[in-house]
């Protein structure tokens, strides 16, 4: 009896690793979810939302459907409050982000590096910074520290201002204008420094507020102005001042990213990079057409001269300095240096 018991125990011990290894392997293979939730502020009718759609489609195709990223537009996973996206990702509500870091500045202020007023005078400067590997490595390290794996960057587009009151040609013209801004204290400070009355609200709330006249103005890329038919909300005047151009960040929640195999991580990263390239190309095409298309709607479009642009830069200089100090002065200084070199090239 004793020998039999010892033999059984020894056999059990020898078999245990193999036996236990089976469920561990099965768990690893079965860890992938049926769906991964991706939040975008706007649907695929907009270039931003289209970038998310392209990304999700490419991932499904290249993983034969094993990784299914489903897009939830309208920031619906956070009841339309796009400023809650990053915190919701940390809570496990959102798995995939395809969005603008300016919306998350209340959660992770350091990610707002790209949003300072008039940091990028044109696309050449923007491309020089986003194409600088050392700079982007440092920025991506901030994203990882915040809890997400960065994959690629697209472009949200240069933000312009529209209003229902009067042409905005110089900083003084903003005085008394009630303008809707995204949930960014910095954007509020920019508008407030020029005498405007900034109002923070989601885009879902902004549309009826503009239509009723409760809010006079809004700032968004003109591609958004066209796709959302903002001219039907009483917006008669547009100033194409190119004051801010945020990145569109494609990122995966860290726990989700870590649950995928190295091969799948590579596939997803490449899909994001390909989607970002297509999304940027679409944004640039729309940017080249926007003045003509907005003007055709009967909206007055003002394009500032170099002297007028300089006046805007001077008016926002103090706000720029304050927010540079709060966001990430070292990294922003590097961006400024890259921009300066791009002007000489």
Q: What is the mean pLDDT of each run of 10 residues along the chain (345 residues)?
A: 43 39 36 95 95 98 97 94 93 97 90 95 97 98 98 98 97 97 89 95 90 97 95 97 97 97 98 98 97 98 97 96 97 98 91
Say yes or no: 308 and 225 in one domain: yes
Residue 15 lies in a domain: no
- Rounded to an integer, what is the distance from CA 221 to the centroid of its chain? 13
Say yes or no: 36 and 76 in one domain: yes
Say yes or no: 130 and 274 in one domain: yes
Say yes or no: 135 and 196 in one domain: no
Residue 178 lies in a domain: yes
- Rounded to an integer, what is the distance from CA 280 to the centroid of its chain? 13
CA neighbours closer than 13 Å in the CB half-sphere of residue 233: 25
Residue 164 lies in a domain: yes
pLDDT of res. 184: 82
Residue 17 lies in a domain: no
- E strands in 182-260: 197-200, 217-220, 237-239, 247-253
Question: Tokens standing for 113?
Answer: 């590096």
Say yes or no: 75 and 211 in one domain: no
Over residues 100-129, the pLDDT tens digits come to 999 898 899 999 999 999 999 999 999 999
* CATH number, domain containing residue 260: 3.40.190.170
Task: Kindly report the backbone phi and psi dihedral angles of residue 238, in degrees, each rounded to the nearest multiple of 5, phi listed first.
Answer: -125, 140
CA dist list (Å): 90 to 34, 72, 145, 146, 283:
20, 17, 12, 9, 29
pLDDT of res. 4: 46
Residue 252 lies in a domain: yes
CA neighbours closer than 13 Å in the CB half-sphere of residue 171: 17
Say yes or no: 101 and 205 in one domain: no
Distance CA 114, CA 314 (A): 19
Residue 5 lies in a domain: no
- E strands in 222-270: 237-239, 247-253
Residue 18 lies in a domain: no
Say yes or no: 124 and 187 in one domain: no
Say yes or no: 77 and 197 in one domain: no
> 231, 297 in Cβ contact below 8 A?
yes
Residue 6 lies in a domain: no
Question: Which structural domain range is residue 192 located in?
Answer: 160-244+289-344
Number of domains comprising the chain:
2
Please report, for the chain, how many H helices and E strands are present, in that order. Answer: 13, 11
Question: Tokens standing for 183?
Answer: 């949930």
- The contacts of residue 62 (CB under 8 Å, 6+ apart) are 267, 270, 271
Say whether 225 sits in a helix, a strand or coil.
helix
With 0-12 / 13-18 / 19 or more C-beta atoms within 10 angstroms meaning exposed / middle / buried, residue 60 is middle
pTM of the model: 0.88
Distance CA 77, CA 331 (A): 32
> 154, 130 in Cβ contact below 8 A?
no
Task: Kindly report the backbone phi and psi dihedral angles of residue 58, in degrees, each rounded to the nearest multiple of 5, phi listed first.
Answer: -65, -40
Over residues 160-213, the pLDDT tens digits come to 999 999 999 999 999 999 999 987 899 999 999 999 999 998 888 999 999 999
Task: Kindly report the backbone phi and psi dihedral angles of residue 196, in degrees, each rounded to the nearest multiple of 5, phi listed first.
Answer: -80, 165
Cα angle 26, 29, 30 (rounded to 5 degrees) comes to 85
pLDDT of res. 251: 98
For residue 210, give the nearest of 229, 189, 226 by alpha carbon. Answer: 229
Distance CA 60, CA 65 (A): 4
pLDDT of res. 8: 38
> 83, 100 in Cβ contact below 8 A?
no
Distance CA 283, CA 287 (A): 6
The residue from 271, 288, 305 where one domain ends is 288
64's torsion region: left (phi>0), alpha (psi -120 to 50) or beta?
left
Say yes or no: 219 and 262 in one domain: no
Say yes or no: 120 and 268 in one domain: yes
Say yes or no: 272 and 336 in one domain: no
Say yes or no: 140 and 280 in one domain: yes
């Amino acid at each position: 009896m004793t020998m039999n018991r010892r033999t059984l125990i020894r056999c059990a011990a020898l078999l245990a690793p193999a036996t236990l290894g089976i469920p561990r392997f099965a768990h690893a293979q079965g860890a992938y979810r049926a769906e991964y939730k991706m939040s975008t502020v706007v649907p695929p009718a907009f270039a931003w939302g289209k970038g998310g759609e392209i990304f999700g489609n490419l991932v499904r195709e290249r993983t034969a459907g094993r990784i299914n990223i489903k897009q939830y537009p309208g920031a619906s996973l956070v009841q339309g409050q796009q400023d809650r996206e990053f915190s919701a990702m940390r809570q496990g509500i959102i798995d995939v982000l395809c969005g603008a870091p300016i919306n998350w500045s209340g959660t992770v202020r350091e990610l707002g590096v790209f949003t300072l007023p008039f940091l990028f005078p044109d696309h050449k400067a923007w491309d020089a910074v986003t194409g600088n590997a050392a700079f982007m490595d440092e920025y991506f390290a901030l994203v990882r520290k915040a809890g997400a794996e960065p994959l690629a960057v697209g472009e949200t587009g240069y933000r312009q201002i529209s209003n229902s009151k009067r042409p905005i040609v110089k900083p003084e013209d903003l005085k008394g204008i009630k303008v809707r801004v995204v949930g960014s204290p910095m954007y509020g400070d920019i508008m407030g420094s020029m005498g405007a009355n900034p109002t923070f609200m989601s885009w879902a709330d902004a549309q009826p507020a503009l239509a009723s006249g409760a809010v006079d103005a809004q700032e968004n890329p003109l591609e958004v102005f066209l796709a959302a038919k903002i001219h039907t909300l009483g917006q008669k005047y547009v100033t194409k001042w190119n004051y801010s151009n945020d990145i569109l960040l494609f990122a995966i929640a860290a726990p989700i990213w870590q649950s995928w195999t190295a091969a799948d991580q590579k596939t997803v990263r490449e899909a994001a990079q390909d989607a970002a390239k297509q999304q940027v190309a679409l944004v640039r095409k729309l940017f080249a057409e926007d003045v003509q298309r907005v003007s055709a709607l009967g909206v007055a479009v003002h394009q500032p001269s170099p002297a007028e642009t300089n006046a805007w830069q001077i008016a926002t200089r103090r706000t720029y300095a304050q927010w540079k100090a709060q966001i990430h002065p070292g990294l922003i200084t590097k961006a400024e240096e890259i921009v300066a070199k791009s002007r000489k090239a």
